[in-house]
A and B are shown apart, each in its own frame.
Chain A
Amino acid sequence: MRWSKPKNRYMADPILEVRNLTKRFGDFTAVQDLTFEVEPEEVFGFLGPNGAGKSTTIKMLCGVLTPTAGQARALGFDLFIEADRVRQQIGYMSQKFSLLDDLTVTENLAYFGQLYGLQGAQLKDAIQQRVRELQLKPLVDLLVAGLSTGEKQRVALASSTLHRPRMLFLDEPTSGVDPLRRRLFWEAMDDLVKGGMTILVTTHNLGEADQCDRLAFIMAGRLMAYGKPRKLKEDLGRQVIEVRTEQFRELQRATREVPGIIASELMGRGVRLSLPAEAQAGPVLAALRQRGFAFEASAPELPSLEDLFIDLVQQSRTSGRGN
């Protein structure tokens, strides 16, 4: 079959192209008509609430689940027809970390390394390198069953990258891990990308999503938004102003009567006001002051991914009602 060329010619050819990917389990459609591309050496975020179809998509791309419909092409091969030719260049780390509990860390690494064809000195070097990079030295002879979640996560990352895959799929790699470990994990991911790896990572954490080069936002199996985080925020067509005041509840109630405010929500002891991107903030703030409120207002900012998320949830609700 022929694949359409990417529209933006200035970008490198995508390392992964997904077209109309669909997965149904009986009557339930887990993933519907997903189309997106992943560029080489980027961290591509797959964002969405629990049950949105993120893991299902990753499993299809890794060849663990068979899709109901659609195509995917990675590293020049058809993922669903020529899967055997790509497996060697793909790494997968599942949500459950999927290590063998009753084996030690070294044994786990040796096991998975050998399944990818590593042997002898090559295997030993690969293990040593990963152990060094991910600071696993003190853990090597411990049984995996006794490790903490954060330790298991690092061992799982090591075992899924021993064979130096060009494309790495990470399914919720940082769930259940403390913020410090999370940051260290993302630093490790950055190192891998600098070494030439492409990473597709799922998350439901908006902070993590912000760090991705590009994002696909999926909800109930559908692609809702797709692009660079900054671009997605700009596309909302809004600016956000934070207003700090003692009378935050009253002020929020009052915003409903002020024209030019798209949305307002309480945040701590303040209110977040959403205005159209092209609007001037001055008249709106003056209108609020006129109603007797005293407050400090921040400079207008881009909306956050959270704003996008809430907007998308509301969109999907209204479109759901329309059906």
Chain B
Amino acid sequence: MWNRIRALVWKEFLQLRRDRLTLFMMLFIPLLQITIYGFLNNDVKHLPTIVLDESRSQESRDFVQAMTATQYFDVLGEVATEAQIRQTLDQGKSQVAIWFPPDYARKLRGGSTAQALVIVDASNATVANQAMAVAFGVGQTRGTALMFDRMGYGQATRPQHAIDLRIRPWYNPNLRTPNFILPGLVAIIVSMTCVMVASSSIVKEKERGTLDQVMVTPVRPLELFLGKVIPVIGMAYAQMTVLLLLSWGVFHVPIAGSIPLLYGSAFFFIVAMLGIGVRISTVAQSQAQASQMSFMMFLPMVFLSDYIFPLNGMPIPFRIIGELVPVTHFIRILRAIVLRGVGLEVIWIHLLKLAVFIVLIWSIAVKGMRRASS
């Protein structure tokens, strides 16, 4: 049995060695992706900002300065009319506008409530949310300080804050985007390799007629599967290693937990994804069909995997689907081990779910193989 499997694996490597395009894609795509994703940033600092200052006062200038001091807003310049605000936002030249009405300073000095308006381009909700939160914070701080002034407290006699709220971002103290994006990217790229390569593997032989030639030999379906799958497991581990090395070496994502545990749990994930690929391969009639089917599977899997869009915010049916997707569990495992540095005591539940998935998908795939060959 092992001799036959060895022959099958040896043949896959021979073919891969001559298939320059696939080899290139397998190495190049992960490198490209990690480079792009590694430099990706969803920090929204330095938003282009314009000011419409009808108050023309020290007070309004103070507020603008407090805004720019946060580094979230870069003032490009002033505009003279409301119409110009619309124009620069419409053209995308600025994303934020700060507007002080003519009575801003007068009302402040007179002790009544002064109004200021911050307009945010909310076509990108993430950007808008952060910009609004920062602007709101600036408004609150300035407002409190001015209120104490009105109440006659000097700098020295100001009362203490009632609550001293301190916020500590654990596991990613500097709120670095690569720490969040790159571990998940390992799961995405590895699953792409597994599904794409495995899904074309058997249908390729079906197309060329070599599958029949193998089926007449004493090779059993399980051996054929192992012969197809072992090389892909090797490739997946190679990719994973390259990605982890790059994210650690180039993008300074620390690996807090156990690396053997990471590689061990990756095995569950790889085998689960290979099951999906092999299943596609036994159903599809041609390689083109197989890659269409894997692509159709792939995008929803990424979107429902908790990778970028939090599953918690989705409607229940989507959350259920998300929980069934192996990528979801491996991303949780990756984040748990890489960022939180925890071990088996936390990730066992995800490993168990992956194991159940493996049993299900592989029994379907092997059954499909028998039928495909009949």
A interface list, Cβ under 8 A from B? 59, 62-66, 84, 87-88, 90-92, 94-103, 107, 110-112, 114-117, 119, 143, 160
Contact = CB atoms under 8 A, between A and B. Distances in A.
B4 A87 contact: no
Contact of A115 (B7, B14, B15, B212): B7
Interface in B1-47: 3-4, 6-8, 10-11, 14-15, 18-19
B215 interface: yes
B218 A98 contact: no
B299 interface: no
Nearest to A114: B7
Chain A CB within 10 Å, residue with most, of B18, B212, B373: B212
Given A65-B374, A87-B217, A100 B15 contact: yes
B216 A62 contact: yes
A63 B3 CA distance: 22
A103 B217 contact: no
A144 B247 CA distance: 42
| Size class of the contact patch on chain B | 20 to 34
B361 to A, nearest CB: 24
29 contacts: A59-B212, A62-B212, A62-B216, A64-B373, A65-B374, A84-B220, A87-B216, A88-B218, A92-B212, A92-B213, A94-B209, A94-B212, A94-B213, A96-B209, A98-B209, A100-B11, A100-B15, A100-B208, A101-B208, A107-B11, A110-B7, A111-B10, A114-B3, A115-B217, A115-B219, A116-B217, A117-B218, A119-B3, A143-B18
Contacts, number: 74
Nearest to A63: B216
Given A95-B209, A112-B217, 17 more contacts: A64-B216, A87-B218, A91-B216, A94-B209, A98-B208, A98-B210, A100-B11, A100-B210, A102-B15, A102-B18, A102-B19, A103-B14, A107-B14, A111-B7, A114-B3, A114-B6, A143-B18
A63 B218 contact: no
B214 interface: yes
The dominant DSSP class at the A interface is loop
Contacts of B373: 64
Most A C-beta atoms less than 10 A away, residue of B8, B210, B219: B210
Contacts of B212: 59, 62, 64, 92, 94, 98
Interface string B80-117: 00000000000000000000000000000000000000
B213 A111 contact: no
